[in-house]
Amino acid sequence: MAKLSLGRILVVDDEVQLTNALCETLAEQGYDVVGATSTQGALKALEPGNFDVLLSDLMMSGTDGIQLLREALAVDPQLVGIIMTGQGTVQTAVEAMKVGAFDYVLKPFKLQAMLPVLARAMQVRRLRMENVRLREWAERLSFESPRYTLVGSSPAMRRVVQLIEKVAPNDATVLVRGPSGTGKELVARAIHRNSPRRGRPLVTVNCAALQESLLESELFGHEKGAFTGAVQAKRGLIEVAEGGTLFIDEVAEMSPALQAKLLRVLEDGHYRRVGGTQEAHADVRVVAATNKLLEDEQKAGRFRQDLFYRLNVVTVALPALRERPEDIPELVEHFLTTRQLGAVRSGVTLEAMGVLARYDWPGNVRELANVLERAQILAENHRIAVDDLPENLVAMPPAAESCGSGSAGKAFRDCYCPDNPAPENSGAAPLPLDEAERLHVLGVLRQVNSNKVQAAKALGISRQTLYRLIAKHQLEGPAANEKAEDS
């Protein structure tokens, strides 16, 4: 059985004997190795994805190792560079790191000292490639407009987006479950817009909004004279959605008789118009949604078990907003941007953000959007303060549970919830949302003693995103200390 390769390495050194010996030794350790004795030869061998690690000498005739690494990273930005040098100085190390080198080793070196460096380099390469894949699917996941975007970088929402990405390309029936106001229709839109059916209609029907007789006609259509008032034939929404996606909201409100007809559509695609005798065939993908527990509805005899099994091919479970409080600042920013009232975008004071954070949100994201719309109308100088929020939010008694649980929820409470220690002067003046973001990240970093791994986990973001936020708000060095004191 062929031994799995530990990774592909490009070794570059103008000393031919050293290059050959290094290639042979690393090959014995399980690596795929290619040697080059000049920078020109190395650049010819380089193509995106060809190699995981570039192991290059620093001093070579022509271009030096640092310039080679610079050109190699232009070809493959995810390549991991290691510089070999016999002139180990701080200046050399700094210059190599500035270009993007992962590490450098002093010559002469022993193999046992090199192997751990290569193992770490391979791990970095895998992480870089994984980040590329995550960015690619995030960019592929599209929406009709910014208004209809699933917002949130919490672990719960990341799982939802990942599931949408997996299920969207095929025709599997999807059941979207979650409390009212969590965004079930947004999931249906995202599934449709990222499926091969995106060029065909997405048709929505709400079973709770129509009487049984009207719902049947809406879904399946009717023939002329099928009932009083049917003066002409009408196409049903199943027919309108031909080739596209049919989103059935509040499917648990459908009567048993209609459930049987829907089951037949899901089983073989056949249906009849109301009052008709001709069979029709539907080519539609069905996405259904409910805020009820269908298992309980089955036990009560209100929902067919066979229909439940047919709908429940893939389940997307949306969390309540109280279960992902770390997403509230992101949601606030989203709604103040996409539902802006007036010419100037409003901001939120830190104290008001704290009130939003500790509220239970029984109406979930829909309620948050409506509260922010009302607050924009009442806000003075385009800054939403506590007085601009509904009384039931402000009167919410302080409770740790209301701001979420777990490490992310704790960090969020420590930064935003008014019943916890807040930065000095936090209520002295209104703060824009950008400043609230800075204080949030700063608060989390303080909670974890500046441990970047724990901070990224608590915030529910990648370390790369955390580094961008740290750089954006200057949360390291003297500038950060000054800002921390001012806060």
Q: Where are the alpha helices (DSSP H) in 344-462?
A: 350-358, 364-378, 391-394, 406-416, 433-447, 452-459
Q: What pLDDT score was predicted for residue 452?
A: 84
If you ran DSSP here, which 8-state letter would residue 162 be given?
A: H
pTM summary value: 0.57
The pLDDT-based confidence of 484 (bands split at 50, 70, 90) is very low
User: Is the pLDDT assigned to residue 397 strictly greater than 70?
Assistant: no
Q: What pLDDT score was predicted for residue 135?
A: 65
What backbone torsions phi and psi does residue 252 show, to the nearest 5 degrees? Answer: -70, -15
The pLDDT-based confidence of 180 (bands split at 50, 70, 90) is very high
When pLDDT is averaged across residues 260-287 and rounded to a whole number, the result is 92
CA 262 – CA 110 distance, rounded (Å): 71
Q: Per residue in 411-427, pLDDT tens? A: 455 555 544 444 444 44
Between 18 and 403, where is the model more confident?
Answer: 18
Domains of the chain: 8-137 (3.40.50.2300), 153-319 (3.40.50.300), 322-486 (1.10.8.60)
Summary mean pLDDT of the chain:
83
When pLDDT is averaged across residues 383-403 and rounded to a whole number, the result is 73
Ramachandran class of 246: left when φ > 0, alpha when ψ lies in -120 to 50, beta otherwise: beta
Q: What pLDDT score was predicted for residue 140?
A: 56
The pLDDT-based confidence of 318 (bands split at 50, 70, 90) is very high
Using an 8 Å Cβ cutoff, are 487 and 423 in contact? yes
Q: What pLDDT score was predicted for residue 482?
A: 36
Pick the range with the lowest mean pLDDT from 92-96, 167-171, 327-331.
92-96
List the Cα angle 307/308/312 in 5-degree steps.
Answer: 120
Between 294 and 140, where is the model more confident?
Answer: 294
Between 6 and 437, where is the model more confident?
Answer: 6
Q: What pLDDT score was predicted for residue 363?
A: 93
Q: Per residue in 84-115, pLDDT tens? A: 887 666 677 677 777 888 888 888 888 888 88
Residue type, 169: P
CA 358 – CA 147 distance, rounded (Å): 25
Q: What pLDDT score was predicted for residue 463?
A: 79
End-to-end CA distance of the chain: 62
User: Is the pLDDT assigned to residue 451 strictly greater than 60?
Assistant: yes
